[in-house]
Structure 1
Amino acid sequence: MTFSPTRRTVLIATGGAAAATLAAGCDDDDGGSSSTSTTTDRSTTGAAGEELAKTSEIPVGGGKIFAGPKVVVTQPTEGDFKAFSAVCTHQGCTVSTVADGTINCACHKSEFRISDGSVAAGPATEPLPQEQITVTGGSITLA
């Protein structure tokens, strides 16, 4: 009989060091900074009607990631705001940056277009699901 360890078995057998190493692969912080991306915890519940940001906080051609509700809001062109799930469709990591017209996942380097959430580069094969937002009077809220 052969033994094939599960991830849980490996974590238990190797202790905290292995858990920290595995968790680091899905860290929300890419260690750098991007002029068109910000991650914020302003919104923590993701409740409908909850303000995510002011429109002035979302750069044209870029976006902003909201860690609490796991939503990314983009502004592909002036005044056109879009929202998508911030959970990568490849293996469930939270996306880490928005730069150069794409929403980027640091875990496995998938990229999604800021205009429609479609896959720009794999390994992801499915687009980011669209989220509903309302833009009123300079305020962006979850719908």
Structure 2
Amino acid sequence: MPDEDVFNRCAARRTLLLGAGAMGIAVLAGCGVDEPAPSAGGNPGASSTPAAPATTGGNPFDDSGTGGGAGAQVPDNALVAVGEVPVGGGVIVKDTVLVVQPAKGSFKAYDAVCPHQGAIVDPPFDGNPVIMCPRHNSKFKVADGSKVEGPTPSGLKSIKVGVKSGYVVRA
């Protein structure tokens, strides 16, 4: 009989814990943030303002073009705001473009896809002159994208860029 009491207490405890876990999931599911509804007076499918630059790097612009906003006009071929690219570092934008600023006011861009097996390379930081691929440690020069070492068959493809209205743009 004592074994049966232990079994019943464990089963009751298990039931209580499972019920509490299910209740916690239900509570968390109700804590989501609802997206605001689009305004009824807008033009459906059209962007009313240009995309704002991101504050943490990344992909600040979508590919929908620009609209007539109150702020500065974002060039159609913009990749990233100049201020989003750290001096001596870089950022990945539009998911596959690496924009670097090796020296203040000097911008370069490369296809961020490693030629070896297609991984996205890591942006350089703190003045590091080398771009690293996290998958198999291929290394590339920030100065020109050329291969330094590793299993990659070649360097990174260069993308021509310039600066226009405070943005790094495809040239």
TM-score of the aligned structures, taking structure 1 as reference length: 0.63
- C-alpha change, 1:44 and 1:114, in structure 2 (3 Å) is farther
Residue number in structure 2 paired with 1:96: 122
Shift of 1:121: 2.3
Shift of 1:67: 4.7
1:40 and 2:58 matched? yes
Q: Which residue identity lines up with residue 65 of structure 1 in the other structure?
A: I
Residue number in structure 2 paired with 1:33: none
For residue 145 of structure 2, the aligned residue among 103, 117, 120 is 117
Q: Which has the higher strand share?
A: 1
Structure 2 unmatched runs, 5+: 1-55, 66-74
Q: Which runs of 4+ in 1 moved over 2 A?
A: 41-50
Does the CA-based 8 Å contact 2:89-2:123 persist in structure 1?
no
Q: Which has the higher helix share?
A: 2
Structure number with the bigger relative contact order (C-alpha 8 A, sep ≥ 6) is 1
CA deviation digits over 1:9-50, x for unaligned, max 9?
Answer: xxxxxxxxxxxxxxxxxxxxxxxxxxxxx7613245498933
- C-alpha change, 1:127 and 1:45, in structure 2 (3 Å) is farther
CA deviation digits over 1:63-104, x for unaligned, max 9?
Answer: 111253x10011111211001000001111111332322221
Does the CA-based 8 Å contact 2:138-2:149 persist in structure 1?
yes
Q: Percent identity?
A: 36
1:107 and 2:135 matched? yes
Mean CA deviation greater in 94-103 or 81-90? 94-103
Greater Rg over alpha carbons, structure:
2
Structure 1 unmatched runs, 5+: 1-37
TM-score of the aligned structures, taking structure 2 as reference length: 0.54
Q: Calculate the aligned-residue CA RMSD, in Å.
A: 2.4
Work out the number of aligned pairs and report it.
105
* TM alignment of 1:50-61, pairs within 5 A: 50-61=77-88
